Amino acid sequence: MFSLMFCEKLIKSVAMSKQVNFFFRKDIRQMKALGVKPDAAREQLLLYRQGSRCLVLNRPCAVRDGIIAMTAAQKKKCIDLYDNSADKYKIVSFVPASGAASRMFSGWFTAAEKGVFGTRDQEREFFRDLKKMPFFPLIAGDEVGGRILRERKIGELLKFILEGDGLNYGNLPKALIPFHRYPSGKLRTALAEHLAEAGEYIAGIDGVSNLHFTVAAEHKRQIRQSLKNILAQDEFFYGKKYQITLSVQSDATNTIAVDAADKPLRDANGKLVFRPGGHGTLLENLNNLNADFVFIKNIDNIAPRPLSARNVLFRKMLGGMAMKIQQKIFAFLQQLEAGAFNDADFDHMTQYCAEALNIVFPNNFAQQGKNRKIKTVFSLLNRPLRVCGVVRNVGEPGGGPFWVEEKDGTQTPQIVESGHVDKSSPAQLAIWSRAKYFNPVDMVCSLKNHHGETFRLLNYANRKAYLITTKIEKGITFKALEVPGLWNGAMAYWNTIFVRLPAAVFNPVKTVDDLLRPAHRSTSKLPFPDS
């Protein structure tokens, strides 16, 4: 006979199973239409019940402890290697560009609803700063916009900037917002600036600059048309060869939302609510690129000329380092496969792993037999590679480079977000607060193995590094699940190199006021085409 305790456990288990596994037939049809697998949705419901998982920080990465500080001579060697080798590879610039400008203008939306900015001083400051915005001539030069501007009607003016009857910036992707105004009067959007910058260093086989933008489905047509206009109307791009592709975040990667009790959230029509699973879902988009090296940078991190032209040298430096390291790794893997090495060669490989690749070997590595050691080293070398720029932390929101403790006793260098830090642990918070460097999402990735085959990138992700966030929309509070971030948990078990870069390479535009920063207004002394 079953014991009473066993029966209680069985009843509880069955109840949990019904809660997690049960979907109506209409739910299955809905998921099928989206491409979402019911098993994936069930797994997500279990993750909500488990809660977010925190990483265990060992220490922040620092120069000579996970971060490389390049000398001028080392920088030149890497740049020269890149310049001399780029034409042997297919190189792609991968730009996540699905971000909506609505978040960039959130403060202006609030003011538009109220019709005022607050105090008279704040109002005067707004009009003063508006004249410095790159898109100000589009307002002043418009019959309606100019009239509202002269009448100084805050509410109407903001609606003209943000809504469809005017500039419509509140409904555009951030890629299509003018970021810079040049002395000639030319305006360049973030999208155009990425093309301009990539044309200076993303030129591999046949001299073609390959760019790939991930965009929201509803903005795909606008982005395509804008690309045509940029290439046709801006003299800077004449004579240059571009291959530009777009992709969208698949609906199949959306995650199910839940209420406060972790039960599936439904809309007014009784349908399950699915939401985009965060930028980590773009791992599949990245994996689908047939490229040897991929530069990754966010759409809003772009500077005007000539600052961007100077930053290109640092991107070439990162690219040259990635090529140098890849060549070394491939040579080791070929030796290991062929058995063409001696004990001294193997010792050199393990030393390179530890000193150049930041690899911490398992605790029992010294006790492993020879064949097991070879398999261990081969496995640690045979994985995707990324060379990531980091800058000094000056308070920008986002993650940074840390040594993370793994369950097997090893440590891995990773980019960690605050959401993965155990806030209840004073020790972990102390480690987090000691970080001196920040990740500006400026990296070069090597996606292929020594046989020219693209890695299955999902195999090198930390699938437990998901995040659960609480959101409020239209008065409804719910939970949303974000899969491991693209440059965070999704790349947790890549070979990772951090390289110190100057702060000048990081010029994000998170809010419209960021366009007032000196870096985004440094458009004088242009080498081309506006000089």
Judged by DSSP in three states, 229 sits in helix
* C-alpha distances out from residue 117 to 107, 136, 155, 392, Å: 9, 18, 9, 34
pLDDT at 286: 97
Helices 220-233 and 190-198: crossing angle, nearest 10°? 60
DSSP letters, 57-102, are EEEE-EETBEEE---HHHHHHHHHHHHHHGGGS-EEEEEE---BHH
Q: Does the structure show a pLDDT above 60 at 504?
A: yes
Contact, 416 vs 57, CB < 8 A? yes
pLDDT band (50, 70, 90) for residue 394: confident
Q: What does the block give as tokens for 49?
A: 């019940």
Q: Does the structure show a pLDDT above 90 at 33?
A: yes
pLDDT digits (tens, 9 = 90+) for 245-254: 999 988 899 9
Q: Which of 399, 309, 301 is nearest to 96 (CA)?
A: 301
pLDDT at 240: 87
Average pLDDT, the chain: 91
The position carrying tokens 């790349």 is 491
pLDDT at 525: 53
pTM of model > 0.75: yes
* Dist CA 406 CA 444 (whole Å): 25
pLDDT at 274: 96
The position carrying tokens 């085409």 is 529
pLDDT at 406: 95
Q: What does the block give as tokens for 7?
A: 């029966």
pLDDT digits (tens, 9 = 90+) for 134-155: 999 999 999 999 999 999 999 9
pLDDT at 152: 92
The position carrying tokens 């000639």 is 184
pLDDT band (50, 70, 90) for residue 524: low
DSSP letters, 271-309, are PBPEE---GGGGHHHHHT---SEEEEE-TT----TTHHH
Contact, 482 vs 414, CB < 8 A? no
Residues facing residue 415 across a β-bridge: 401
Q: Please name the residues in contact with 446: beta carbons below 8 A apart, sequence gap of 6 or more.
A: 292, 293, 322, 325, 326, 384, 385, 386
DSSP 273: P
> In terms of residues, how long is the chain?
531
Calculate mean pLDDT across residues 313-319.
97
Q: Does the structure show a pLDDT above 60 at 20?
A: no
Q: Does the structure show a pLDDT above 50 at 1?
A: no
pLDDT digits (tens, 9 = 90+) for 411-469: 999 999 999 999 999 999 999 999 999 998 999 999 999 999 999 999 999 999 999 99
Judged by DSSP in three states, 408 sits in coil
Q: Which of 456, 136, 165 is nearest to 283 (CA)?
A: 456
All structural domains of the chain with their residue ranges? 51-88+251-288+305-531, 102-171
Q: Which of 232, 223, 135 is nearest to 178 (CA)?
A: 135
pLDDT band (50, 70, 90) for residue 2: very low
pLDDT at 238: 79
Contact, 474 vs 60, CB < 8 A? no
Calculate mean pLDDT across residues 255-263.
95
Q: Which of 108-117, 221-230, 476-485 has the lowest mean pLDDT?
A: 108-117
pLDDT at 3: 39
Q: Does the structure show a pLDDT above 60 at 109?
A: yes
Calculate mean pLDDT across residues 72-93.
97
Contact, 529 vs 196, CB < 8 A? no
Q: Does the structure show a pLDDT above 60 at 21?
A: no
Calculate mean pLDDT across residues 23-36.
94
Q: Does the structure show a pLDDT above 90 at 166?
A: yes
